[in-house]
Structure 1
Amino acid sequence: MSGIVAGRVVIVTGAGRGIGREHALAFAAEGAKVVVNDIGAGLDGSLAGESPAEQVVAEIKAAGGEAVVNGDDVADWAGAENLVRTAIDSFGALDILVNNAGFLRDKMLVSMSEEDWDNVIRVHLKGHFATLRHAAAYWRAESKAGNPRAARVINTSSGAGLYGSVGQGNYSAAKAAIAELTIQAAAEMKAYGVTVNAIAPSARTRMTTSSGDAMAAQMAAPEDGSFDAMDPANVSPLVVWLGSVESGSVSGRVFEVEGGIVSVTDGWQRSIKRDKGARWDPAELGPVVEDILAQAPTPMPVYGAR
């Protein structure tokens, strides 16, 4: 098959449903060989006894593409290693890693359990790191052996991670850390020819439609046949491009994607400052801080804040 990623090998985690499924199909449509990873978990991360990854692989093969199923837990160290090995054993290489897997355990911080916190951080944040770590080891070895690959990592952050989201403290913290992990990994992996970027998508998925009646109504497909801005397939074109050789000059960036809108999001950076040239007295800092904040950009509002 021809296409912008023809012949390249990609892993997509959490690819059995939603945005991950659309990524897998989009990569296959553009000629990539796809490892479809999914453990068939429910919305809260509990095992549902399903195998949606097999359905996605069957769909790719029916369209003339190449794909294999992987059911490893991305947050399990050995499982993440086996996931990378699946790509290499099945297709002879690995070029692209798309970290997408995750689930929700929404609660206000005052009501959140230790288990709610640990499980979400584990799957989102450790699940990104573990797969990235094993893929990076492979790409470093390839580079040192004189066979560097134009490798790409695309992580999945969220507007909740960039701006905060009431009732999603665990998810927001994990997604914020993923954005910073992206910047960190881009700097460290540059020497091996690997780029690392992240997306913060807004689309209709099991996660968004389960967030209450108002959110579900906002995410619903239009009944008049007009452009469906919340269709998860809208997110995948940018991810496929970021996985291509053409995107080699782009690394360490976080992009927001919603409908037909693509935007780049700036991370933490120094803004307004005042330098006394000596130690401040606590009593004199009130007007100084007030002046700094008055001139600094206004922060984006936290989702759901009143």
Structure 2
Amino acid sequence: MTGLCDGRVVVVTGAGRGLGRAHALAFAAEGAKVVVNDLGVGPGGDGGSLGPAQLVVDEIVAAGGEAVAHGGDIATTEGAASLVAAALEGFGRLDTLVNNAGFLRDRMLVNLDEDDWDAVMRVHLKGHFLPLRHAVAHWRAEAKAGRAPVARVVNTSSGAGLLGSVGQGNYSAAKAGIVGLTLVAAEETGRYGVQVNAIAPAARTRMTEQTFARTMAAPGEGGFDAMAPENVSPLVVWLGSAASDGVTGRVFEVEAGRITVMEGWRPGPTADRGARWAPGEAGEAVRKLLARAEPAQPVYGAR
């Protein structure tokens, strides 16, 4: 390892398993001190235990690194505040926040209960906002005190948030919201020395085991396991390091050995009448514009 994150203190939410665990271990391997947050809940948000977070801490310590476990609910003000406090009290500083925690409550829209909607919005969207808010408040105070931080935030969106996913209306909406939050946060916090980016990862975790069931069986040529969560972590570590200077407000799709800069909504073909359209004229103009536009990307799971 190169020591890319020597001296940095990194918080990773949802780090007891899957992608979060891979991120925490990868940061530690590059010299970071890590706060490992996890509620220890099931794939649908049920139950809870500090056990998974502590196991990751034990792995890091056994490898010669430094880490502490945090079992607070980061979708509450108290939990998010205590998360930042855990970094400051445990290691004296905070440099990087990786928002990763989440779970699924998949249903087709006509079967999607309000509770399923609220639970997914809470853990993904609110669970990104509150840790981000408390971390930025700390970094702003540092900047105003003349201690300009080299701070990094890596948020976790999804291809579902970029293109939509059949049967995941709640998850897709939450992950799309994370992209919007990322763009606003990058613009608002840059003055304090904070860079904010998002990833849209594809990897084998408890949340995706059904989706990737066909690709889970065996590694490919050379023993490369394309769906291993560890494939995503190198980009996250780099984005969370000082080496990513100048990269902010971006969304990256990352899967296996592939990294893609995702380019969002941009103006396409335009018609300007210079006056109010009649409904039929507006419709005719739209059809002409669509004929010149790039075709829409298909929603995941679309037939």
Instruction: Identify the TM-score tier after normalising by the shorter chain.
Output: over 0.9
Name the counterpart of 1:137.
137
Tell me how far 1:2 sits from its aligned partner: 5.7
User: Equivalent residues in 2 for 1:42-191 (5 A)?
Assistant: 42-49=42-49, 51-191=51-191
- CA RMSD across the alignment: 1.3
The 8 Å contact of residues 109 and 169 in structure 2, kept in 1 or not, is answered as yes
Distance 1:164 1:149 in 2: 36
AA paired with 2:224? Answer: F
| Number of equivalent positions | 303
1:290 aligns with 2:287: yes
AA paired with 2:56? Answer: V
Name the counterpart of 2:224.
227
Identity of aligned residues (%): 64
Tell me how far 1:225 sits from its aligned partner: 5.6
SS of the aligned residue for 2:207 comes to helix
Name the counterpart of 1:36.
36
Distance 1:60 1:106 in 2: 33
Tell me how far 1:286 sits from its aligned partner: 2.4
AA paired with 1:288? Answer: A
The 8 Å contact of residues 36 and 57 in structure 2, kept in 1 or not, is answered as yes
SS of the aligned residue for 1:138 comes to helix
CA-to-aligned-CA distance 1:117-175 (integer Å, 9 cap, x gap): 00000000000000000000000000000001100000000000000000000000000
Q: Which runs of 4+ in 1 moved over 6 A?
A: none
Name the TM-score, length of structure 2 as normaliser.
0.97
Tell me how far 1:228 sits from its aligned partner: 1.1
Distance 1:226 1:180 in 2: 37
Name the counterpart of 2:265.
268
Structure 2 gap segments, 5+ residues each:
none
Distance 2:36 2:287 in 1: 51
Structure 1 gap segments, 5+ residues each:
none
AA paired with 1:26? Answer: A
Tell me how far 1:48 sits from its aligned partner: 4.1
Distance 2:296 2:185 in 1: 26
SS of the aligned residue for 1:222 comes to coil
Tell me how far 1:223 sits from its aligned partner: 7.2
Name the TM-score, length of structure 1 as normaliser.
0.96
User: Equivalent residues in 2 for 1:16-35 (5 A)?
Assistant: 16-35=16-35
The 8 Å contact of residues 41 and 50 in structure 1, kept in 2 or not, is answered as no
